[in-house]
Amino acid sequence: MPIAPCHLLAVDVGLHTGLALFDENHQLLWYRSHHLPNPKKLKIMISKLLRDSPHPTHIYLEGSGPLAELWLREAEKLSITVRQISAELWREKLFYARQRTSGTQAKKEADSLARLVIKELGGKRPTQLRHDTAEAVLVGLYGLLELGWLENWPINRK
């Protein structure tokens, strides 16, 4: 019986939700943003997203509070492994100290690095990239490295 492939869903938690889905071969399958009017609509989106194919086996959440709890509860129902992290954690791993001296500076750096990640990991090049989506892509990069699905960043090309 074949083993189902693993997928990592990276989430920048909020009503302006950034999302990025990666496979275990560190390919970026898609990335997007959703603007939801209220927590009830977010809960409906979460339920649908976690049941759609391909099913995430791992979720990395950046954020906390009641909106993050919606993700945690739904993931628990489906036995999906969740890792909740802060922006400071992934920024420390992916940015130099000079790149994260302020929130404004870190968001600017996130846009540049996310565009590079999208290019290197096979995503369609964005014309516009919302900051929540850029951060989800980077949360995903952090998760890929932590899970060992990607050995290092930047990728060493031969």
Q: In angstroms, rounded to a whole number, what is the distance separating the alpha carbons of residues 133 and 62?
A: 12
Least confident interval from 56-70, 83-97, 120-134: 120-134
pLDDT average, residue stretch 20-36: 95
- State how many domains the chain has: 1
Answer whether residue 2 is part of any domain: no
The per-residue pLDDT for 158 is 43
Mean pLDDT across 128-145: 94
Q: How many Å separate Cα 129 from the centre of its chain?
A: 14
- Greater confidence (158 vs 79) lies with 79
Instruction: Give pLDDT, residue 103.
Output: 77
Residue 157, pLDDT above cutoff 60: no
Residue 85 has pLDDT above 60, yes or no: yes
26 in any annotated domain: yes
Q: Is residue 152 part of a domain?
A: no
What does the pLDDT read at residue 70?
A: 98
Task: Tell me what the mean pLDDT of segment 129-157 comes to.
Answer: 91
Residue 54 lies in a domain: yes
Residue 134 has pLDDT above 90, yes or no: yes
Whether the pLDDT of residue 97 is over 90: the answer is no
Alpha-carbon dihedral sign for residues 111, 116, 119, 120: negative
Is residue 158 domain-resident? no
Task: Between 28 and 125, name the one with better pLDDT.
Answer: 28
Q: What 3-state DSSP class applies to 11?
A: strand
User: Which comes out higher in pLDDT, residue 22 or 104?
Assistant: 22
- Domain coverage including residue 49: 7-147
Q: Which residue, among 90, 83, 88, 30, has the nearest Cα to 61 in the 3D structure?
A: 83
Please name the residues in contact with 157: beta carbons below 8 A apart, sequence gap of 6 or more. none
Give DSSP secondary structure letters for 17-85. EEEEEEETT--EEEEEEEE-SSHHHHHHHHHHHHHSSSPPSEEEEE--SHHHHHHHHHHHHTT-EEEEE
More confident residue, 12 or 4: 12
CATH number of the domain where residue 52 is located: 3.30.420.10
